Amino acid sequence: MNLTKLKERVFPRQVFYGWYIATAGAGTNFIVLGITFFGFGVFLEEFRLTSGWSVTAIALGYSIQMLQQGLLAPVTGHILDRVGPRKMAVAGVTIISLSLLLFSQATILPIYYAACMVMALGQGMGGPNAFSLAVMRWFVRKRGRAMSIVTTGNGLGYFSTMILAAMIAGFGFHETFVVLAVVIFVVGIPLALVIRDRPENFGLLPDGEIQGGDSQSAAAQAGRSRATGGLEVGEAVRTPAFYLLVLAMAAGAAAQIVWIVFQVPHLRSAGFSLGFVGIQAAAYGMAAIPLRWAVGWLGDTFGRKKMYMLAVSLEGIGLFFFAFVSPDRWWLFIPFYLTFGIGHAGWLVMSQSLPADFFGSKHFAAIRGLIISLQIPVSMVVPLFMGFVFDTRGNYQLAYLVIACITVSGALCLGLSRRPLWIQMTAPKLAAVARAGDGKTAP
């Protein structure tokens, strides 16, 4: 069997290729984020127990990681736009594998901090960021649904808590990093190679639109304009909407940090066993998968901006319940899952799409990178704040209550934006193009 026939069997032409990219993105998010992000809480606790380092010292490594990602985000975003997501995804996976090998040797803090910096470089260059750019280029109308598939991998990543705990028990703490480095490289490279930079390069249209007659060609041109057009970076930063979007996304990012990084330490300090923590994380991840599919459809149908505002509001309410969870108050998991679960799913899907929704996809990676860089204060301060509260009070309760209030404020920030979305701004012009394709003139 020749290579062409093999490709057709693996990727049937009846299915729009963009869906294969979204599925590969889900696989990448599962292994990369499951290890480097969702698993950080497990690693944090193990570093504290085996090395005797304080939570603040360990959290500083995460803050350094966030600082470096933020500082490099505009640069790596610009390179992503220029070089393309496929090459950057391969480079990112390779560097992340090297960082895990360095973590395996982290018996002193300087090596640990160096490993955090190498990992930040890999995460910024490719992996999930590369797939996000590819999806923005391959989809317009169905962008929310496509991103919900990609973020399915994030939901599966919650199983990593349970898997990593078992691996640490079986292989040993530092040896587990070596195994993970091999897994990410062997699995991540083939997934990265699934990416194709643009549908137009292969005679395809965004969302799988079909080319046809004159009117269909005009509609196709409209779809291409929406998928490839957009503001320059300089134009975007001169709009108030850009800074309101930065604040709204920073508020959501604060909730993401305290949930992913500190859920394991918080539940352990509240009296739950590591085994229970792993099971509940896996259960949360399984429940989150259908929620992400649902919010992706809801965002595409009713508006991704509105969905984001609802999402961060629910996240903040959920964190309030989570702050008071304990073995005696286990029932608080129920309202927590009902609020934070839906809100977190909405935040994760919508936050990937909003920069393109506001400013177009032409410079999506660069604009999103600049947004991330402006979130540096939040990304650095939140982990240190959480560590400081624990080191001084012996628990994370107060810290979670403060972050809950900050998260809800994200809905207000985005609600203050009055800028029309990119698809709304281009609609009149593209409607005129479509009428011209039908032989009609614009009024």
pLDDT score of 6: 41
Distance CA 52, CA 110 (A): 15
pLDDT score of 185: 93
Distance CA 119, CA 409 (A): 31
Class of the CATH domain delimited by 16-437: mainly alpha
Q: Once rounded to an integer, what is the mean pLDDT over residues 417-421?
A: 68
Q: Regarding predicted confidence, which is higher, 254 or 7?
A: 254
- Enumerate the domain spans of the chain: 16-437
Distances (CA, A) of 219 to 229, 360, 427: 15, 18, 11
Q: Once rounded to an integer, what is the mean pLDDT over residues 353-367?
A: 80
Q: Once rounded to an integer, what is the mean pLDDT over residues 214-234?
A: 58
pLDDT single digits (tens) 172-205: 888 888 999 999 999 999 999 999 888 887 788 8
How high does pLDDT run on average in the chain? 80
pLDDT score of 60: 84
pLDDT single digits (tens) 289-331: 777 778 777 877 778 888 889 999 999 999 999 999 988 988 9
Q: Once rounded to an integer, what is the mean pLDDT over residues 122-126?
A: 79
Q: Regarding predicted confidence, which is higher, 352 or 225?
A: 352
Is residue 427's pLDDT more than 80? Answer: no
Distance CA 412, CA 408 (A): 8
Indicate whether this model's pTM tops 0.85: no
pLDDT score of 208: 77
Structure tokens at 351: 């936050």
Is residue 430's pLDDT more than 50? Answer: no
pLDDT band (50, 70, 90) for residue 363: confident
Residues 6+ apart with CB under 8 A from 144: 295, 296, 297, 298, 299, 300, 304, 307, 349, 350, 353
pLDDT band (50, 70, 90) for residue 215: very low
pLDDT score of 440: 44
Is residue 214's pLDDT more than 60? Answer: no
pLDDT band (50, 70, 90) for residue 30: confident
pLDDT score of 79: 85
pLDDT score of 192: 92
Q: Which of 247, 267, 253 is nearest to 382 (CA)?
A: 253
pLDDT score of 2: 47
Is 26:292 a contact under the CB 8 Å cutoff?
A: no
pLDDT band (50, 70, 90) for residue 13: low
pLDDT band (50, 70, 90) for residue 136: confident
pLDDT score of 346: 85
pLDDT score of 408: 93
pLDDT score of 152: 82
Is 422:97 a contact under the CB 8 Å cutoff?
A: no
Long-range contacts of 6-10 (CB under 8 A, 24+ apart): none
Is residue 21's pLDDT more than 90? Answer: yes
Is residue 395's pLDDT more than 60? Answer: yes
Q: Once rounded to an integer, what is the mean pLDDT over residues 30-55?
A: 78
